[in-house]
Each structure stands twice: as C-alpha cells, then as structure tokens.
Amino acid sequence: MNTNSRRSFLRGAAAAGAALFTAPALLRGRSRTALLPDADKPFRLAYAPSIGMFRELCGSDDPLDNLQFIYDKGFRAVFDNGLPGRPAAEQERIASAIQRLGLMMGPWVLHADFSNSSFVLPHREVRDFLTVKMEEGIDIAKRTGFKMALVVPGRYDEKLHPDLQRANVIDNLRYCADLTEPEGIILVLEPLNTLRDHPGLWLTQMPQAYQVCKAVDSPAVKIVDDIYHQQITEGNLIPNIEACWDQIAAFHVGDNPGRNEPTTGEINYRNIFSYLHSRDYQGVICMEHGRSIKGPEGVKKVIEAYRECDPF
C-alpha cells in the first residue's frame, strides 16, 4: 500500500470509528420506540402492567385512567396484586372498566404470608384459616369476575419431615380446591427464590410445584411461573416451562439482576416470549417488576423494552 493509499485508508477508518462512537450517543437522545413501527399497536402476547405502573406518564392516580392508558399503549391485560385490599366499590369500578376495554386480568394475591408456616402443617387451625381465606377469594371473584388467585404455601417447618410437609401441602390444597373449583376459581402456586428475596419458603422450584399440582389433580390448582424467581433458583427456563406446560396458568416476568424490565439483565426475554407464542399461549404475562429509571422516562423505557421483545 503506497503512502497516499495508506492515508486514505486511515482517514476512512477514523471516520468509521467516529461514527461507531457517535451513533449510540445520538440514539441515546431519541426514544427507542421511535425506531420501532406501530409503537401503540396491540402486543402479540398479553403482557400485563400492574394498575398504576404507568401513572407518571398517565398523569393520574385514578385506576380507570390508568387502565385506559394501558389499553391505548397496546397492552391487552393487567394485574393487580393488591385487589383484595381495595374497597368493594373500587373493585367493582375496576372490573367494569376492564370488561369495557376487553382486558384480561392476571392473578391477584389471595394468600402470601412469608413469615409463617401454613400449608405444610396438618393442624385444624390451618384448615379454619384456609376456609376463611377461600371464602374471601370466592366473594372477590363473584364481585369482579376475576377468577385467578395467587397462593404462596408459606414457610417450611424445620421440625417436620419434608415428605410429611409435602403431603400436608397436597391435602390442604385439595381442601381449598373443593371450595374454589365449583366457583370456577383457579388457585395458582408461585415458586419463589430463597437465595435473595424469600429465604425459608417451602415452594421454590418448578418441578416441585408441578409434582404438587399433579398430586392435587384439580383444574383449580395450577402454577404461576415467575421467570425472575426461577432464573435465580434453577435457571433452565424454557425446558422447565416445556416440562411443566400442562400445569402452568400464568407467568410473572422481571429481569435478573435487579428485577426490572426486560433488556436490563441477563434473561433473554425475546426468546422466552417467542417460545410462548410458538406454543400459542393465550394467558397473561404479569409485568411484576420495577423500573430501571424513575419517573416518566422510566415508564417510557418499560414500554419500549416490551416493544423490543415483542417482534419475534
């Protein structure tokens, strides 16, 4: 290469390098959604923000305003863990709005006590408590029409053999199913991680939850697969979804580490969502995570993350 040619090559390389450094800087000043077509069209899967998740961008704390905003941004599902704690009249308002908009409702939390043993014990007091709790869930389901309720079986008991605890969980869930199945209510069990968030809980793994559901053998007892928790607990995400498919009724999502929106951690959510779509999954995918950025910009980033992961 002669001197003139070498100088031309180096000038071209320098320009290309500058472009590589400049382009990301330019893009950082633009919304990633601007690069995606049909930014507000309905998503391909039923990703479900929590009610109020987008309130900074919505500009209102009213649940109905937030539901309309969620719909306008292309989401066709929502979830509300705290539904049982809302006044009955507010539950009815939310249910009416969701029905009007044609949204799906994900599971709401009926029982999630992380400090006490419950389902693992054979005691009469446990059955009495479960009776009251299931009746509460039946009342909410009748009032709203939302018939998927989340249950955490509680802590393990260090004084009781693990096999006996499993047998007690199965028996207690059969009892609950006898109460809820006639009402069309599905109780979803959530395996949770003990390494970071919930040390001491009994239900931690997908195969464990699958074994319990198969033993209970009721359409009223299924699994909610929380991808964030399972990435921490055991990984092997898609194979475990496939192995447990017939017992999974819903999903929770959040990236790891951080438990924020997809694209902020190590989980390849685009591949997971593509797999769910290939299985013709029609259920809810609850966006049970935080936001990597606070304020309205954080809301935009969450919506953009799902737009990035949805075109598969």
DSSP string, 133-173: HHHHHHHHHHHH---EEEEE-BB--TTS-HHHHHHHHHHHH
User: Which pLDDT band holds residue 40 (cuts at 50, 70, 90)?
Assistant: confident
88-91: long-range contacts (C-beta < 8 A, 24 or more apart)? 88/143, 90/63, 91/140, 91/143, 91/144
Per-residue model confidence (pLDDT) at position 174: 98
Residues 206, 234: contact at Cβ < 8 Å? yes
Per-residue model confidence (pLDDT) at position 96: 98
At 152-181, the pLDDT tens digits run 999 999 999 999 999 999 999 999 999 999
Residues 257, 289: contact at Cβ < 8 Å? no
Do 89 and 6 reside in the same domain of the chain?
A: no
Do 193 and 105 reside in the same domain of the chain?
A: yes
**Can you give the CATH number for the domain in which 83 is found?**
3.20.20.150
Range of the domain at 15: 1-30
Per-residue model confidence (pLDDT) at position 186: 98
**For residue 193, what are its two tokens?**
């991680």
Do 15 and 158 reside in the same domain of the chain?
A: no
Do 138 and 227 reside in the same domain of the chain?
A: yes
Do 181 and 104 reside in the same domain of the chain?
A: yes
Do 8 and 146 reside in the same domain of the chain?
A: no
222 vs 34 pLDDT, higher one: 222
**For residue 165, what are its two tokens?**
């605890």
Per-residue model confidence (pLDDT) at position 189: 98
Do 22 and 121 reside in the same domain of the chain?
A: no
Do 130 and 216 reside in the same domain of the chain?
A: yes
Look up the pTM and report it.
0.88
Residues 179, 134: contact at Cβ < 8 Å? yes
* Integer Cα distance of 300 and 54 in angstroms: 9
Residue 36 lies in a domain: no
Listed range (5-14, 56-65, 300-309) with the worst mean pLDDT: 5-14
- Token pair 């919304």: residue: 31
Do 99 and 188 reside in the same domain of the chain?
A: yes
Residue 160 lies in a domain: yes
Do 46 and 131 reside in the same domain of the chain?
A: yes
* Integer Cα distance of 150 and 132 in angstroms: 15
Do 127 and 250 reside in the same domain of the chain?
A: yes
Point out the residues that are catalytic: 190, 288
Count the domains in the chain. Answer: 2
